[in-house]
Amino acid sequence: MKYFQIALFLLLMSCNNEKVVQLPEIAHSDITEILDVSAAYLFYDETKEDSIELNRRTLISTTNWLVNVDKRLTLKQAIPKITFLQNKKRNAELHKNDAAKNYFTCNDTSKKNLGFIEFTHVYYIEKQPNTIKLKLNEYRVVFNNPSNIEISTFNIEDLKSSEETLLQDLNKLLLENDEPITLHLFFSKNLSFQNYITFKSLLNKLKNKQLIIANEEFIFN
């Protein structure tokens, strides 16, 4: 059985009581099939005070994890639950599989099927953008909202960018630098999970060996 069929079955089985995860959409995914999986679900639930419900009953620690996050949730709502899941896997002492990875499940609109974004080695940290001191060839990318993205380094004024121009602006920086550059990513906690996945999908399109994206991702007020 193809993986996407298994994934759809897991989604249906976990949506009892008319619970549905509206998956974030991406235009293209490099990862379209994963084997040996188990799943967790972050539901958008208007009946709860924080509008979120985590269902992790089907997770198996030694498998690849598919984390299905409702696109309507904000990062303020979703990231603490995601971090909780990451720590459960990283801190497992028994039945641990170091080769198992973590993925966000998405709706790949180009294929009209599921696609996946890996986040195994991402560490989410609460920190404000101006608290990070940048070194030579390091850039801070601050995602306030789709139309307000700031790119800065220690010796230039902030470059204003947007969802539409981000790839063009980052590619220009790569062309202007002879040495590898490192991006430090900052995401507003008020962004929707759909916004976050859109930005992550855009960054995945940058196939340049001169580019390093730091594993720490900062969530700010």
The CATH number of residue 166's host domain is 3.30.420
User: Which is higher by pLDDT, 7 or 184?
Assistant: 184
Q: Tell me the longest C-alpha to C-alpha distance in the chain.
A: 56
Asked if 105 and 10 sit in the same domain, the reply is yes
Binned at pLDDT 50, 70 and 90, residue 17 comes out as low
Asked which of 98, 121, 144 is the last residue of a domain, the reply is 121
Contacts of 153 (CB under 8 A, 6+ apart): 134, 137, 138, 139, 140
Binned at pLDDT 50, 70 and 90, residue 5 comes out as very low
* CA dist., res. 20 & res. 46, Å (int): 12
Asked if 134 and 194 sit in the same domain, the reply is yes
Asked if 17 and 101 sit in the same domain, the reply is yes
Asked if 141 and 208 sit in the same domain, the reply is yes
User: Which is higher by pLDDT, 101 or 49?
Assistant: 101
Domain ranges, residue 25: 3-121
Asked which of 103, 121, 139 is the last residue of a domain, the reply is 121
Burial bucket for residue 182 (CB in 10 Å: 0-12, 13-18, 19+) = middle
Asked if 29 and 129 sit in the same domain, the reply is no
Asked if 97 and 8 sit in the same domain, the reply is yes
129 φψ region: left (φ > 0), alpha (ψ -120 to 50), beta (else): alpha
Asked if 182 and 96 sit in the same domain, the reply is no
List the one residue out of 122, 107, 102 whose CA is nearest residue 36: 102
Asked if 199 and 151 sit in the same domain, the reply is yes
Q: Is the pLDDT of residue 2 over 60?
A: no
Asked if 10 and 114 sit in the same domain, the reply is yes
Asked if 67 and 176 sit in the same domain, the reply is no
Q: How many CB atoms lie within 10 A of CB 220?
A: 19
Q: Is the pLDDT of residue 183 over 90?
A: yes
pLDDT of the residue at 6: 41
Binned at pLDDT 50, 70 and 90, residue 9 comes out as very low
| Least reliable range by pLDDT among 87-91, 103-107, 156-160 | 156-160
List the one residue out of 89, 123, 102 whose CA is nearest residue 34: 102
Please, which residues bridge with residue 41 across strands?
A: 55, 68
End-to-end CA distance of the chain: 44
Asked if 103 and 211 sit in the same domain, the reply is no
Give the number of domains in the chain: 2
Asked if 82 and 68 sit in the same domain, the reply is yes
Convert the pLDDT of each residue in 20-78 to its tens digit: 999 999 999 999 999 999 999 999 998 888 899 999 999 999 999 999 999 999 999 99
